[in-house]
Structure 1
């Protein structure tokens, strides 16, 4: 059986969920961001309650609703592409990638996302990119030009404009100040 889990956004999340499942006597066969395949074909009501409690304790949530599962899949795809790949090409086509990954037309995904999340898919992607820029700035290993290239921005000016619009600071100002009022956000709380 497959269960869908909200807020699984990193490899540590996968490890935590796996440990919780095993501690409940369940047998995970495969765990990916947002999804767990169990050997069990069904769970009793008591097992479901225990699983929900264990997930909630760790900041996760089991998703039953089909539309919520689609949105979670879209978010995980975006996070994976922005935060866990080496480089996003300037020619990267988000609408094609998301439609292919979710197996739905992009217009449907876009409308569903906006109605359920209160922001557009484009805004969500930009916000995830800005969180990645903050991370890379704090590591201080890449120039702003290299960061812009890594995240598929057409120029440093484009990156800087988006960054300032969302944070109120330019990337250089943030880097200089290491501003406490602009800390990085957990990926699952970016809205």
Structure 2
């Protein structure tokens, strides 16, 4: 049995959900971003108990097809922005279409209708959060960050960063505005 879970956007989320499943005596075959694979089907009471526990932790079991597609879009974008070493050469529309096996216009329309923002704006927000993280680590130059995040230039990165945060990357780094970081599931 596969469960699709909203807001599972990081390794800590995977760990928390896996722990809750184990506490309930359920032994998942796998737990990954947005998905739990169980060996056995859940009874109605187990499903209700698990769902309540997950909601209390900020997660939600998705039960309709459109919600699962939206969650897959989010998971792909979070993975690209935060966990992928090298950004794909193709544009985001082609990337999502090939990964999710749907026309991009359908994905875009569905996402915008549900989330109140575009796929592009959501992806930019994810990338900017990753840039903030990299700036705080202070291990890469701005050129290195731009290259790692798939920006065509430092100027493009700086322009997009300022548009989203109101600060240039240099200003952000100088003030290290820690309160400016946003949890991934809140983007």
User: TM-score band, normalised by the shorter chain?
Assistant: over 0.9
What are the superposed Cα offsets for residues 94-136 of structure 1, whole Å, 9 maximum, x if unpaired? 1122112212111110111111111111111111111110000
1:12 maps onto 2:26 in alignment: no
Deviation of residue 11 (structure 1)?
A: 1.3
- 8 Å Cα contact 1:3/1:36 also seen in 2: yes
Match of 2:45 in 1: 46
Change (3 A) 1:180 1:35: closer
TM-score normalised by structure 1 residue count: 0.94
Match of 1:142 in 2: 140
Deviation of residue 57 (structure 1)?
A: 2.4
- Residue ranges of structure 1 left out of the alignment (5+ in a row): none
Match of 2:182 in 1: 185
In 2, distance between residues paired with 1:17 and 1:155? 39
In 2, distance between residues paired with 1:107 and 1:67? 14
Match of 1:67 in 2: 66
In 2, distance between residues paired with 1:103 and 1:37? 21
Match of 1:79 in 2: 78
Q: What is the count of residue pairs matched by the alignment?
A: 187
Deviation of residue 180 (structure 1)?
A: 4.6
In 2, distance between residues paired with 1:112 and 1:148? 30
Q: Which runs of 4+ in 1 moved over 4 A?
A: none
- 8 Å Cα contact 1:92/1:152 also seen in 2: no
Q: 2:91 aligns with which of 90, 93, 96?
A: 93
